[in-house]
Amino acid sequence: MRRVLIGPIAPPFGGVSVYLARHKANLEKRLEQVDVLDPTKMGRLRYYANLIALPFRKCDVISLHVGSFWVWLTVLLLGLAGKSGCTTLC
């Protein structure tokens, strides 16, 4: 299964970033392919471009762990594209 995790990955260390780092490691132990979109480690333009392109990515599950207007827009686009997803509101 191919997954995309959207959110901060440690470092810096905090609740969501530590959770996502552990979640990613556990998924990779199960031999799942995991891509990460970390808004703290990429420029805004690149991050927003990746969000807009999400409905067209080849993946099974998209997991959102950030909170903003852009997240809700992304959830709407994913629903329109028929993608499976989950979200954690921060």
The ranges assigned to domains in the chain are 2-87
- Alpha-helical segments (H) within the chain: 15-29, 44-53, 69-81
Contacts within 8 Å (CB) and 24+ apart, 79-83: 80/55, 81/55, 81/56, 83/54, 83/55, 83/59
- What pLDDT is attached to residue 90? 47
Q: What angle do CA 37, 79, 22 make, to 5 degrees?
A: 35
Q: pTM (2 decimals)?
A: 0.76
Please, are residues 87 and 68 in contact by the beta-carbon 8 Å criterion?
no
pLDDT tens digits for 1-39?
888 888 888 887 888 889 999 999 999 999 999 999 998
CATH fold for the domain made of 2-87: Rossmann fold (3.40.50)
- When pLDDT is averaged across residues 66-84 and rounded to a whole number, the result is 71
